């Protein structure tokens, strides 16, 4: 037992670092010393970089093998990805949390009150949520999966509510919490039904039980319903239809730096969870020996699951793009754009072992970079102390804030899939995978959707660059901290620079989904493109 435990514990070192970091920043946040409080984001960054280093140091093929994980190498890719984008998500929030309070304290209008500051808690929850997403990669049973995905979500409910200043944040937080709880109930019920059908909570045992079932009369109804409910519940995390409806309200109501977090971290976690669950029913592509000695070969997913994913993909991308067309608020537009991108990503789930998962992870890297760049540019600007929300705020932005205007344009070009930006290669790769899985119809739907998306992304690029400034946009100023701007520039330029190394990233993603752990040289360098500034 101990022999089985210790490699698993070694693999959890990055999470332990994050946990220690969370405790540290929560305590430091109560310090009376202003300098210590304002260094919190950088401490958080240091913790994240340390966890990237820990992944590199601990994730060996032997450990992953010994830990008996379903997808032993996935954490080798996903954890650095989460922490790498996480660093920039921290930097774009510098100076935004507790801003009013800190200003009042600095001006001496009120005394420092440890009970009222939330910055320490904010960054602690930030790290805990990332820790949950990382833990997910190590899941090998449903309970672990459930706890990890809840650990992703619970801190985000609080981050939405306390990260900003307004009453809208509280409203968004409450809305997010209740709907999130409902989705949790749905997938928990699904997990229970899977347990009821297969008699086990462990992925390996579930996989074998389902293999036996499908070798006989097919996967039984109970397990199918369980799987469908799990997928639907997890659709909440990835903002896919039919659980997407909260996204525009919550994304708009949350402070922008939290919206950036919401549009990336829960999505990575949700897709990783879906991949783990779907790996139990399909995709293996190699033979499994069932209890009666019959060799069963899986190809792809069971028809019912594939059909549901197919519908979800089409509806998600279409509703996302049509919804985004109609928005006047940038954050709502980006929320719908995030929904649409989930639709594209589900193509990867359907294509599965035919290169779909690696395409999905590659696209998640691209999506993380480009969408965070757009949010960072929004975080870097404000109008009369309020965050930007309407397209009217952006008209003629280039006159006063040329760099941010260009970064918005770069991220919009990447999001629409304009070559040679990273979003284009992400899409090409997803389409190739969908072809491999014989899903030409889905490719056609995604292609048409990309054409529709050009309408609103073009607006995001042209309004700041081309329109003449209006009275309203004259009042837009840069936020006091430089870090959101730095983030926007690094990631905005990254959308084009990373394209040059797309081949390396694709290889890294391919290694991540190996069933048998193989450490190759290209896997070593994967964190470099994700996180250009990390040492």
Partner 1 sequence: MLMIWISILFPVLAACVVALGSAKSARLTALVGTSVSLAALAIFAWNFPAWNTAEHFPSVSGPAWIPAAGITLSVGFDTVSLLLALLTAFLMPLCILGSFTAITQRSKEYYGWFLLLGSSIILAFAARDAILFYIGYEFTLVPMTLIIAIYGGTERRVAALKMFLYTFLGSMFMLASLLYVAWELRITSGAWNFDIDSLIDASVRLPAANQYWLFAALMVGFAVKVPLFPLHTWLPLAHDQAPTAGSVILASAMLKLGTYGNYRFALPMAPAGGAELMTVVAVLAIIAILYGSLICWVQTDAKKLVAYSSVAHLGLCMLGLFALNPMGAEGAVFYMVNHGLSTGALFFCIGMFYERYHTKDTDVLGGLAKRMPIWACFMVLFTLASIGLPGLNGFIGEFLCLGGAFTAEHDGQSGYPGVLGPWYAIVAGLGLIFSAMYLLILLGKLVWGPLREPHDGATHHPHVSGVPSLSPDLCFREIAILTPIAIACIWLGIQPKPMLDAIAPCAARMLTHYPQEVRRHLEHTSAPELTTTTSVNDHERATNE
What gap in Å lies between CA 363 and CA 429, rounded to an integer?
8
The yes or no reply on residue 428 touching partner 1 (CB under 8 A) is: yes
In 3D space, the residue among 397, 391, 417, 363 whose CA is nearest the CA of residue 488 turns out to be 397
Binding residue for partner 1, selected from 110, 448, 470, 518, defined by CB under 8 A: 448
User: Angle at the Cα of 229 (from 225 to 230), degrees rounded to 5?
Assistant: 115
The yes or no reply on residue 94 touching partner 1 (CB under 8 A) is: no
Binding residue for partner 1, selected from 59, 187, 425, 456, defined by CB under 8 A: 425
Binding residue for partner 1, selected from 503, 516, 518, 525, defined by CB under 8 A: 503
DSSP string computed for 373-416: HHHHHHHTEEETTEEP-BGGGGTTHHHH-HHHHHHHHHHHHHHH
For residue 310, the minimal CB distance to partner 1 (Å) is 18
The yes or no reply on residue 413 touching partner 1 (CB under 8 A) is: yes
The yes or no reply on residue 419 touching partner 1 (CB under 8 A) is: yes
Q: Report CA-CA distances (Å) from 198 to 14, 286, 346, 366, 421.
A: 32, 21, 26, 37, 45
Whether 518 contacts 531, CB under 8 Å:
no
Whether 180 contacts 153, CB under 8 Å:
yes
Pick the closer one to partner 1 by CB: 387 or 526.
526
Distance separating the N- and C-terminal Cα atoms of the chain: 37
Tokens of 249: 């309200």
Q: How many CB atoms lie within 10 A of CB 519?
A: 16
The yes or no reply on residue 454 touching partner 1 (CB under 8 A) is: yes
Q: What does DSSP assign to residue 295?
A: E
SS3 216: coil
What gap in Å lies between CA 240 and CA 244, rounded to an integer?
5
Pick the closer one to partner 1 by CB: 68 or 522.
522
The yes or no reply on residue 510 touching partner 1 (CB under 8 A) is: yes
As to burial, measured by CB atoms within 10 angstroms (0-12 exposed, 13-18 middle, 19+ buried), residue 81 is buried
The yes or no reply on residue 493 touching partner 1 (CB under 8 A) is: no
Point out which residues pair with 329 in neighbouring strands: 390
The yes or no reply on residue 363 touching partner 1 (CB under 8 A) is: no
The yes or no reply on residue 140 touching partner 1 (CB under 8 A) is: no
Pick the closer one to partner 1 by CB: 263 or 450.
450
Considering only the stretches 97-105, 382-390, 445-453, 472-480, report the one whose residues sit in contact with partner 1 under the rule CB under 8 A. Answer: 445-453
The yes or no reply on residue 470 touching partner 1 (CB under 8 A) is: no
The yes or no reply on residue 429 touching partner 1 (CB under 8 A) is: yes
Please give the residues from 165 up to 224 whose contact with partner 1 meets the rule CB under 8 A.
none
The yes or no reply on residue 435 touching partner 1 (CB under 8 A) is: yes
The yes or no reply on residue 351 touching partner 1 (CB under 8 A) is: no
Pick the closer one to partner 1 by CB: 204 or 504.
504
For residue 408, the minimal CB distance to partner 1 (Å) is 14
Pick the closer one to partner 1 by CB: 212 or 496.
496
For residue 511, the minimal CB distance to partner 1 (Å) is 11
| Binding positions for partner 1, rule: CB under 8 A | 355, 358, 413, 418-420, 424-425, 428-429, 431-432, 435-436, 440, 443-444, 447-448, 450-451, 454-455, 458, 462, 465-467, 502-503, 506-507, 510
């Amino acid at each position: 037992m101990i022999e089985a435990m210790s490699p698993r514990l070694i693999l959890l070192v990055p999470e332990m670092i994050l946990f220690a970091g969370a405790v540290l920043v929560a305590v430091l946040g109560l310090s009376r010393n202003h300098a210590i409080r304002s260094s919190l984001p950088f401490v958080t960054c240091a913790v994240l970089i340390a966890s990237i280093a820990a992944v590199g140091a601990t994730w060996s093929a032997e450990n992953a093998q010994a830990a008996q994980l379903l997808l032993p190498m996935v954490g080798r890719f996903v954890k650095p990805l989460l922490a790498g984008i996480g660093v920039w998500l921290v930097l774009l929030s510098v100076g935004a949390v507790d801003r009013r309070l800190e200003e009042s304290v600095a001006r001496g209008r009120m005394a420092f009150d440890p009970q009222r500051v939330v910055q320490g808690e904010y960054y602690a929850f930030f790290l805990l949520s990332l820790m949950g997403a990382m833990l997910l990669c190590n899941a090998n049973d449903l309970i672990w999966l459930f706890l990890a995905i809840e650990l992703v979500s619970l801190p985000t409910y609080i981050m939405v509510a306390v990260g900003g200043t307004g009453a809208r944040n509280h409203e968004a937080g409450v809305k997010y919490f209740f709907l999130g709880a409902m989705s949790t109930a749905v997938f928990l019920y699904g997990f229970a039904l899977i347990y009821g059908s297969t008699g086990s909570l462990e992925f390996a045992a579930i996989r074998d039980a389902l293999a036996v079932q499908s070798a006989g009369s097919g996967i039984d109804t109970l397990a199918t319903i369980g799987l469908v409910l799990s997928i639907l519940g997890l659709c909440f995390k990835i903002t896919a239809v039919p659980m997407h409806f909260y996204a525009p309200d919550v994304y708009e109501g949350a402070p922008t730096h939290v919206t950036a977090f919401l549009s990336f971290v829960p999505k990575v976690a949700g897709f990783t969870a879906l991949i783990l669950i779907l790996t139990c029913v399909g995709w293996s592509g190699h033979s499994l020996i069932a209890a009666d000695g019959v060799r069963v070969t899986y190809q792809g997913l069971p028809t019912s699951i594939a059909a549901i994913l197919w519908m979800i993909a089409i509806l998600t991308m279409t509703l996302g793009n049509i919804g985004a067309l109609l928005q006047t608020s940038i954050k709502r537009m980006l929320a719908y754009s995030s929904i649409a991108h989930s639709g594209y990503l589900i193509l990867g789930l359907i294509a599965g072992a035919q290169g779909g998962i690696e395409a999905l992870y590659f696209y998640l890297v691209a999506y993380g970079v480009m969408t965070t760049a757009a949010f960072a540019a929004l975080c870097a600007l404000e109008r009369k102390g309020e965050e930007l929300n309407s397209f009217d705020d952006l008209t003629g932005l280039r006159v006063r804030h040329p760099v941010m205007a260009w970064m918005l344009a770069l991220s919009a070009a990447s999001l629409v899939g304009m070559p040679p930006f990273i979003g284009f290669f992400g899409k090409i790769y997803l389409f190739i995978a969908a072809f491999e899985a014989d899903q030409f119809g889905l490719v056609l739907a995604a292609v048409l959707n990309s054409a529709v998306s050009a309408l609103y992304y073009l607006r995001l690029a042209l309004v700041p660059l081309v329109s003449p400034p209006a009275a309203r946009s004259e009042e837009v100023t840069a936020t006091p901290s430089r870090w959101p701007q730095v983030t926007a520039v690094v990631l905005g330029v990254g959308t084009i620079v990373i394209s040059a190394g797309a081949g390396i990233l694709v290889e890294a993603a391919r290694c991540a989904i190996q069933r048998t752990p193989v450490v190759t040289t290209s896997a070593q360098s994967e964190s470099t493109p994700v996180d250009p500034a990390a040492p």
